């Protein structure tokens, strides 16, 4: 099997030749591997794509992640001072991007759920399609390039802020749902753009739906219905999908496995065997190394623990060996090689 066949078999819950090695490598690890400051790659789609291309030259992984990033087309202005880029995007958010790190939106213009832009502004947080197009055709044909599409709920959090959104869940739940509905439209449009660009795999990023932040009831009310619509649309467009919720989702797991994606990125604080049994006929489990362990442990220790995780899926079905969240920038190269070796 090649990387694509193996990934498809796993996501379709069919038998694979061996477990697929797919640590969640994105721009952070990839940029450092190529010797470029991460911040520089984060705001430039060309450098970003080159860094991901380089991963496949160095490592025999089956796939990489295209994460949230900025593209030159989204940037209204930028200045570099005191070791960081300060970038204003077309949606009015200001991003702080430290020279050697990924960026985050640190200031937002939108302060009310009535702000028109929540309903009609196409997100600037969508450089992923530009990065995808920059990846060599060879790798797009042979490897699982898993491209991020932000979930409707996390869209709102990006534009309106986490604290404001949490308050709205309690104080203005109906109004908030109207806004999430509006953002869903944009999420579906983004899915179409990625399908048109030829993407085969998408990850629905709902980092803000973590069980560390919202309750299972809130997940069912404000996140799940929208994820289901996204997953359905992705399938209709002929792509496969993975849902990515950071952190502890133990309490909501029974609901998460009904979101309709083909796979789930499972973070390290969730028990792999328990989730294997719950997800069994519904979705493939992608996980669940702690990225910090992958950075800190010796290669031998990584191989030992990887084999334990693989042994939990004895029939060569249902697992893609991965990290629970994104591989850290400073993970040693040898540790990624050990991770891959354990799968072969």
Shorter beta-carbon distance to Zn ion: residue 88 or 244: 244
List the one residue from 184, 325, 338, 340 that touches Zn ion (CB under 5 A).
325
Between helices 152-160 and 224-236, what is the axis angle to 10°? 120
Binding segment (CB under 5 A) for Zn ion, from list 88-96, 244-252, 294-302, 309-317: 244-252
In the complex, the smallest distance separating the C-beta of residue 291 from Zn ion, rounded to whole angstroms, is 9
Q: Is 246 in the site for Zn ion (CB under 5 A)?
A: yes
Helix (H, G, I), strand (E, B) or coil at 294: helix
In the complex, the smallest distance separating the C-beta of residue 28 from Zn ion, rounded to whole angstroms, is 12
- Among residues 228, 120, 244, 222, the alpha carbon closest in space to that of 167 is found at 222
Shorter beta-carbon distance to Zn ion: residue 266 or 303: 266
By CB under 5 A, how many residues form the interface with Zn ion?
Answer: 2
In the complex, the smallest distance separating the C-beta of residue 48 from Zn ion, rounded to whole angstroms, is 18
Q: Is-contact 60 24, C-beta < 8 A? A: no
Binding segment (CB under 5 A) for Zn ion, from list 69-77, 209-217, 280-288, 319-327: 319-327
In the complex, the smallest distance separating the C-beta of residue 207 from Zn ion, rounded to whole angstroms, is 5
Binding segment (CB under 5 A) for Zn ion, from list 54-62, 122-130, 137-145, 238-246: 238-246
110: left (phi over 0), alpha (psi -120 to 50) or beta: beta
Binding segment (CB under 5 A) for Zn ion, from list 92-100, 221-229, 243-251, 252-260: 243-251
State yes or no: cis peptide before 322, omega within 30 of 0.
Answer: no
In the complex, the smallest distance separating the C-beta of residue 5 from Zn ion, rounded to whole angstroms, is 27
Shorter beta-carbon distance to Zn ion: residue 91 or 325: 325
Task: Output the DSSP codes for 321-339.
Answer: EEESSPPPTT--HHHHHHH
- Among residues 169, 171, 172, 283, the alpha carbon closest in space to that of 228 is found at 283
In the complex, the smallest distance separating the C-beta of residue 227 from Zn ion, rounded to whole angstroms, is 15
Task: Output the DSSP codes for 68-130.
Answer: S---GGGEEEEEEETTEEEEEETTS-EEEEETTS--EEEE-S--STT-THHHHPPPS---HHH
- Please give the structure tokens belonging to residue 133: 């197009």
Give contact residues for Zn ion (rule: CB under 5 A).
246, 325
């Amino acid at each position: 099997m090649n990387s694509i066949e193996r990934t498809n078999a796993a996501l379709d819950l069919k038998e694979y030749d061996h477990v697929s090695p797919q640590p969640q490598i994105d721009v952070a690890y990839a940029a450092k591997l190529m010797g470029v400051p991460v911040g520089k790659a984060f705001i430039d789609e060309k450098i970003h794509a080159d860094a991901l291309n380089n991963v496949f030259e160095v490592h025999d992984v089956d796939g990489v992640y295209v994460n949230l990033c900025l593209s030159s087309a989204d940037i209204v202005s930028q200045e570099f001072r005191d070791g960081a880029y300060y970038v204003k995007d077309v949606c009015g958010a200001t991003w702080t991007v430290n020279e050697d790190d990924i960026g985050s939106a640190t200031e937002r213009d939108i302060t009310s759920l009535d702000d028109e832009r929540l309903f009609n502004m196409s997100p600037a947080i969508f450089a992923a399609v530009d990065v995808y197009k920059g990846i060599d055709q060879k790798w797009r044909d042979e490897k699982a390039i898993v491209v991020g599409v932000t979930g409707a709920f996390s869209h709102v959090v990006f534009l309106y802020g986490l604290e404001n959104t949490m308050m709205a869940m309690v104080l203005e739940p109906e109004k908030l749902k109207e806004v999430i509905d509006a953002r869903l439209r944009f999420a579906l449009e983004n899915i179409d753009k990625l399908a048109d660009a030829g993407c085969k795999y998408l990850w629905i990023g709902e980092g803000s739906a973590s069980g560390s932040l919202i309750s299972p009831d809130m997940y069912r009310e404000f996140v799940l219905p929208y994820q289901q619509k996204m997953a359905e649309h992705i399938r209709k467009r002929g792509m496969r999908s993975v849902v990515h919720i950071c952190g502890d989702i133990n309490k909501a797991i029974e609901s998460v496995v009904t979101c309709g994606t083909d796979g789930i990125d499972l973070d390290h604080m969730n028990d792999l065997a328990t989730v294997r049994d719950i997800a069994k006929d519904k979705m493939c489990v992608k996980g669940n190394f702690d990225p910090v362990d992958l950075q800190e442990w010796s290669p031998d220790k990584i191989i030992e623990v990887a084999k334990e995780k693989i042994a939990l899926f004895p029939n060569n079905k249902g697992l893609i060996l991965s990290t629970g969240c994104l591989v850290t920038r400073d993970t040693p190269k040898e540790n990624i090689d050990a991770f891959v070796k354990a799968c072969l």
